[in-house]
A and B are shown apart, each in its own frame.
Chain A
Amino acid sequence: MALLRKGQTEIFGLILIVVIVIILGTFALNMYLNKQPSSINEDYLRVYANNLKTAIIQNSICDISIRKEIENCNSGYTQCLHSCSDLNQEIGNILNKTVEKNLNYEFSYNTENIKIGECIEKITSNNFANIQVVLCYK
């Protein structure tokens, strides 16, 4: 009887070791999977946003830049396009062609706002002459 009890104790000890190893393994896997995210994505998005803004506002339409036409719209007239809503459409068209499909964006100038999707963790370009680009991953 004593021998049986001893055998049971030993088997119980073995099971305990296996359970401890499994628990430790779970913790280790959990720590491995919850690594800190890389900061390169933030830097990349920031450069992307600034470059996107520069490329759009420098883009030539007729003999002027989009930036000049934005300033004209702010003053209540247009020099190249028929109307300010045409300017909106032109900017929207460029954004649609240029921005990668895995990004949401928001291009704001004066009181206008062109956007696709909603951004929670967003990266914002430098604010220059009230023109700003906001980006985030979908």
Chain B
Amino acid sequence: MNKKASIQIQETILVLFIFMIILSMALVIFYNVQKSSVNDLKLELQQQNLYNTLITLSKSPDAQYTQLNTEKNAIDTLKLLDFNKQVPRTTIIVKQIHPDEEDEICTKNNYPNCNTYQLTTFSSDNFENNFILSIPISLYFPLEDKYKVGEIRATWHY
């Protein structure tokens, strides 16, 4: 009788032990899945943030071309030469795509014989990953009174 009870107790302990192992494994898997889910949400929010930054910057009075107080759906390239804003962990450039132009960063000395306007800079040495978002824009050149095709590109470093 005692032997029988002792075997039963051992059985119960074994079952509980195995159940605890399974439960621990399930908790570890659940934790990893939640962690990955939180990281995905973080990335999605950053994506949204970058998208908002891109839109806001392209509509900013510091960059947009206006004529007699009317917005002209284009970026004034002359304004970009003096553009100076800081956006954390983000590099933003405006690049002329068509017609082709010299592949150089634009300054007051080489404008308009250049194609890249650096709006913000950020040193990305300590960051391994980049997330890039770009949208086409119309570029206006006031000295020539002409429109050209470009894109505004934002890179978030993380």
Q: Which of B85-93, B105-113, B143-151 contacts A (4 or more CB under 8 A)?
A: B143-151
A38 adjacent to B44 (CB under 8 Å): yes
A55 contacts partner chain B, Cβ-Cβ < 8 Å: yes
A32 adjacent to B135 (CB under 8 Å): no
What residues on A are CB-neighbors of B19 within 8 Å? Answer: 17
Q: Which of A42-50, A76-84, A111-119 contacts B (4 or more CB under 8 A)?
A: A42-50
Partner of A58, one of B18, B30, B48, B73: B73
B15 adjacent to A59 (CB under 8 Å): no
B136 adjacent to A3 (CB under 8 Å): no
Interface size of A in residues (CB-CB distance below 8 Å): 33
| Chain B proximity of A91: nearest CB distance (Å) | 10
- Write the A39-82 contact mask toward B (1 if CB under 8 angstroms, else 0): 01001100110011011101110000100000000000000000
B98 adjacent to A98 (CB under 8 Å): yes
What residues on A are CB-neighbors of B15 within 8 Å? Answer: 10, 13-14
A59 adjacent to B149 (CB under 8 Å): yes
- Write the B118-140 contact mask toward A (1 if CB under 8 angstroms, else 0): 00000000000000011111100
Distance A7 CA – B37 CA, assembled complex (angstroms): 42
Distance A3 CA – B149 CA, assembled complex (angstroms): 85
A59 adjacent to B147 (CB under 8 Å): yes
Interface size of B in residues (CB-CB distance below 8 Å): 33
Partner of B33, one of A32, A56, A58: A32
B98 adjacent to A60 (CB under 8 Å): no
Give me the interface of B with A, judged by CB distance under 8 Å: 4, 7, 11, 15, 18-19, 22, 26, 29-30, 33, 37, 44, 47-48, 51, 55, 73-74, 97-98, 133-138, 146-151
Give me the interface of A with B, judged by CB distance under 8 Å: 3, 7, 10, 13-14, 17-18, 21, 25, 28-29, 32, 38, 40, 43-44, 47-48, 51-52, 54-56, 58-60, 65, 93-94, 97-100
Given contacts A32-B37, A51-B135, 18 further A-B pairs with CB under 8 A are A10-B11, A14-B15, A18-B22, A38-B44, A38-B47, A40-B48, A44-B135, A48-B135, A52-B136, A55-B137, A55-B138, A58-B74, A59-B147, A97-B97, A97-B98, A98-B98, A98-B149, A99-B136
